Amino acid sequence: MYLNVLKVFAPSAIAFFMGLALTPFLTDFLYRNRCWKKKPGKGDGTPIFNSLHCEKEVGTPRMGGVVIWVSVLCTIGLIRLLSIIFPGDQFFEKLDFLSRGQTWLPLFTLLAGSIVGLIDDLLQISGTGDSKSGLAFWKRLLVVLIIGLIGGFWFYSRLGMTAIHLPFYGPLALGLLFIPFFILVMISLFSSGVIDGLDGLSGGVMAIIFSAYAGISYFQGRIDLAAFCTVVVGGILAFLWFNIPPARFYMSETGILGLTTTLTVLAFLTDTVLLLPIIAFPLFITSLSNVIQLTSKKFRGKKVFLVAPLHHHFEALGWPAHKVVMRYWVIGIVMAIIGMLLALIG
């Protein structure tokens, strides 16, 4: 039992300290090369959005999400190296959580999404690409579709998953429709990437969600998967250490794209996909606020929120940014606990 606990929590601490050690080098590179947007972005209700965020967008570096996935990779590499150096040692062998059945797929998804996000960030800071704003939306969406197709096919053909768990009911058979459903969930989470809009917001929310999935995985007996979740949390906390206001850098696409696509895989591996809107409530409510705003403007000719997504609406109402962020954290923790309980008893 104690070895399982050690296996789950030790990699998280290692990833955190590795992330802290990496950050000074990353920060120096980002500021020395002026790795921020050359022109400010435009939000819904542009004048309000620009008055709140224009100056920071062109003065704060992007690509802070590199801290997350690089620290995850370094931690996995270090633990694997120690298990090779000390063959037969029960401690180091037990600590190694990289396994084909549980962690290969989420690790692949994390790296694939993060690298595509990194390309988008590089295009944005160089001022090149479609509309000088990085990869065009349809190109990023296409990448997510491809990752979703690969993931859905893997679950369907290799893992034999053709149904999802309906809480308090049981399995709901989807058959071949499982693959498009998987893609739909991944696209939904991809759209929630707009939560990366305030200092400390995305990092705190993501740390909470991945912590919840660590707990769910542990109680399901998926110890390797639980360890993977906590090592991601460790990387996120290292990023968050430097993203708390005033942010030293933003997570941007190289962080948020990898994390949202990985969450899809975690939800299906733990068979809790229908609980995602609860466990990841801040992500879904943020994405939904954008949908509501766009739909209302198209069909009613007026806005529901002063500015979308929702966290900027609260800012426009006069809430200090730190109050918005901390209340998101509080709601995120409460909803994640509810989601975990439903996953365990449903």
Residue 160 burial (10 A CB sphere; 0-12, 13-18, 19+): exposed
CA distance 140 to 120: 8
CA distance 105 to 103: 6
pLDDT at 204 (0 to 100): 96
- Residues linked to residue 163 through DSSP beta bridges, in sequence order: 173
CA distance 33 to 72: 25
| Residue partners of 85: CB distance under 8 A and separation at least 6 | 92
Fill in the DSSP letter of residue 129: B
Fill in the DSSP letter of residue 157: I
Kindly list the domain boundaries of the chain, sorted by start residue.
2-345
Put simply, whether the predicted model's pTM sits higher than 0.75 gets the answer: yes
CA distance 333 to 98: 28
Cα 184–185–189 angle (5° rounding)? 115
pLDDT at 13 (0 to 100): 95
Cα 162–273–106 angle (5° rounding)? 85
| Residue partners of 17: CB distance under 8 A and separation at least 6 | 238
CA distance 75 to 63: 20
Residues in the chain: 346
pLDDT at 43 (0 to 100): 46
Judged by DSSP in three states, 149 sits in helix
CA distance 339 to 160: 25
Cα 195–207–209 angle (5° rounding)? 80
| Residue partners of 137: CB distance under 8 A and separation at least 6 | none
Q: Which residues of the chain have pLDDT under 70?
A: 1, 38-58, 89, 127-133
pLDDT at 95 (0 to 100): 83
